Amino acid sequence: MKLMESKPTIALSEGLTIGYRGRKLSRSKETRLATAKKNIRLDAGRHLLLARNGRGKTTLLKTIAQIIPAIDGHAECIGGVQFVDEDLRFDSELKPSQLFKALVNREQRQFAEEMAERIELNLEKPCGQLSKGNRQKASLIVAEASAYKNGPQILLLDEPFSGLDFAARERLNAVWRENQDHVIRLICIHPDEPTLEADSALIICDGEIKQVAVDGALDWRKTRHTLN
């Protein structure tokens, strides 16, 4: 991870294989989910991650984040890396305003508070009393604020739209558009999502991880029928 570089990069090597290693003591078998047959590079911008359930979307995100090891090959990142789980939970007694104060600096906290106003998150309601959608908003704001004016950044977003209504999604999209030059957002999306803006897409299909070009937006409802 080389933070002195001005632009973020994700590089997946040819032969990168994601899955789970077997454990000798339990005699469990190694599980190989998918392999990249070509080198893949992602630069600053928005990239979608598409696959049917169980094909390795979250596993790929966690492999890139080095939460779990690759079986073969490697994933290299230039920039700060955050894996943002769709159901990240904070202490139930803490309020979002307290989270921001604890987790980001003053300038980032101002950004977080402005973003909260834009996507309609109550900053003074304890996290334990927030709906799933509002908990999702809180985690996305923390991630975005942490990336704000902090050099090259990589946000690995696992179904970030889960629980968000249409208006909140549109406002979140607007924040992303305004803050994209120094950030890679790799976004795992659910099969029921509509057409989405993107610079490219990673697809996991038939055990292969591949990158496809996207001309500004991808119609996932059409694309999903090509997946296996």
pLDDT digits over 57-79, tens only? Answer: 999 999 999 999 999 999 999 99
Of residues 226 and 94, which shows the higher confidence score? 94
pLDDT at 25 over 90: no
Closest CA to 223 of 30, 84, 71, 50: 50
Helix, strand, coil % (nearest 5) of the chain? 30, 30, 40
Reading across the β-sheet that carries 9-12, which strands appear in turn?
A: 40-43, 9-12, 75-78
Residue 125 within a domain: no
In the chain, the number of structural domains is 1
Residue 105 within a domain: no
Give the pLDDT of residue 100: 94
Tokens at 215, concatenated: 């001309």
Residue 221 within a domain: yes
d(CA 135, CA 107): 22
Q: Which residue segment(s) compose the domain that 193 sits in?
A: 9-88+152-226
Residue 143 within a domain: no
Residue 109 within a domain: no
Residue 49 within a domain: yes
Residue 15 within a domain: yes
Q: What is the CATH number of the domain that holds 192?
A: 3.40.50.300
Residue 50 within a domain: yes
Q: Which residues are paired to 18 by β-bridges? A: 34
Residue pLDDT, tens place only, 113-136: 999 999 999 999 999 999 989 999
pTM for the model stands at 0.90
Residue pLDDT, tens place only, 153-204: 999 999 998 888 889 999 999 999 999 889 999 999 876 666 688 999 999 9
Mean pLDDT value across the chain: 89
What three-state secondary structure class fits 42?
Answer: strand
d(CA 130, CA 106): 24
Sign of CA dihedral 181, 186, 190, 195: positive
